[in-house]
Structure 1
């Protein structure tokens, strides 16, 4: 029996996918640079073949999107090796806007490699994760009571990572998703101020959004130790929100799952109940 290999198996989407697949009775192996069932380092091709051995389907993601030597070649190289090893289905976590991005974007090359692989493929293009508020980039700001981001009153339809994981899981295991690109968003667009207001109401915490000018945000990140090129990249992505890009609601979750996407309010209620902001 072939297994399903989940890259980034300890991360935001990977661990949720692995949990779903395991609960459904599938043989799952998680892989990451550190942790997981297997070690797979995209910078070390020697780790690829052992991880791919016995895999029939693979969930792929590129964890590093800032420019770097040979970064565009990592996922294409892994895709080629996966197909040669007998993998018959690939699901790629991409991102909003990759379709319009230039060829220098590492996820552009990853999408092209998956589409040209000759096996079944599905591409997922989610917007901003709701879980940024509770598990990663913005959690410290929420806990401190002030989330400082250069987003102004720009609105975006935050998508719940649970929805991303469910779409990935069905794409890895069920027919009908091959050759599809799913734009994944929440059901409505909100701004960061409304998002933190909902968190404040659910938790009883005082949380506010402080709008920063983009250059001030770059300077703050650099002062905190973020490399300047990466600080600029992240700021540009947030400025897209500020300027109204990426605010469209898409039907990808409903197309894939036959139900509407989870609301931001549902995400907040469950994250609060789980103690994410305690």
Structure 2
């Protein structure tokens, strides 16, 4: 069985591949890369790992990308918002080449929110008739060490219009473990969706407090109004589309019920999900 991992160089893709290699599964693992020559250097050499080109924007090459693939691990690159243009032909080709199962990285609440792209992609997959598994993770803890890290390092603050909304959260490493377990035995998870969260519901103020307690820093949480947030991020050179995504992720939850936590990580992986404080302890050098 050959498993293609799209978005292989991203946080999730790398976590999935690392967990698959650790499990030493018998399947062949194929990392889909936009630039194979350049991107394969981020992976350690392994006889179980192959590399091939995969570029979501090269629609006319989807057939060759999927040829010989049995299981497709699919995610949506943040810069791609036109799901009909890119994902409809991809899923159509998955049907044509006989993909056995699609494991799609969605988001928590995608089943209830028809506005977000993940909802539309989920529907396309269901309508295609290809067996599927939907992974619906909560807010990534790693956002603090990637997207939010610049403000933390340069301004000692987390600047988001999140107010006092409570968020369910998850460690990307736990997503990688769960994803690998599912890809190891995909038949047991067909036509199923899993919310992936830890056991906490925290505000950004509470998460920043924990970062300060662990690292000894004095980071502030500031919740600006939308105009202030938008114009500051544009001044910093953040693309408008990414700013809108950040607003969707952090502002809209203020007016929605807090999602529920889930026991899916424990159920599938056999281990308790990481809590936020332990995540900060593990990654604390990235906060300094």
Question: What's the TM-score, normalizing by structure 1?
Answer: 0.88
Other-structure match for 1:118: 129
User: 2: distance between equivalents of 1:67 and 1:55?
Assistant: 25
> Post-superposition shift, 1:93?
0.5
Change (3 A) 1:81 1:246: farther
Matched, 1:53 2:67: yes
CA RMSD of aligned residues (A): 2.2
User: 1: distance between equivalents of 2:271 and 2:118?
Assistant: 28
Q: Does the 8 Å CA contact 1:72/1:106 hold for their aligned counterparts?
A: no
Change (3 A) 1:210 1:67: same
User: 2: distance between equivalents of 1:224 and 1:5?
Assistant: 36
User: 2: distance between equivalents of 1:262 and 1:117?
Assistant: 35
Q: Which runs of 5 or more structure 1 residues have no equivalent in the other structure? A: none
User: 2: distance between equivalents of 1:66 and 1:57?
Assistant: 22
Change (3 A) 1:20 1:236: closer
> Post-superposition shift, 1:65?
6.2
Match of 2:11, SS? Answer: coil
Residues 1-278 of structure 1 mapped to structure 2, 5 A cutoff? 2-26=1-25, 27-34=28-35, 35-36=39-40, 37-64=51-78, 67-68=81-82, 71-102=83-114, 105-134=116-145, 136-144=146-154, 145-174=156-185, 175-272=187-284, 275-278=285-288
Match of 2:159, SS? Answer: strand
> Post-superposition shift, 1:194?
1.7
Structure 1's consecutive aligned runs of 4 or more residues displaced over 6 angstroms after TM superposition are: none
Q: Which runs of 5 or more structure 2 residues have no equivalent in the other structure? A: 41-50
Question: What's the TM-score, normalizing by structure 2?
Answer: 0.85
Aligned pairs, number? 271
Q: Does the 8 Å CA contact 1:142/1:196 hold for their aligned counterparts?
A: no
Match of 1:248, SS? Answer: coil
> Post-superposition shift, 1:258?
4.2
> Post-superposition shift, 1:227?
4.1
> Post-superposition shift, 1:150?
0.9
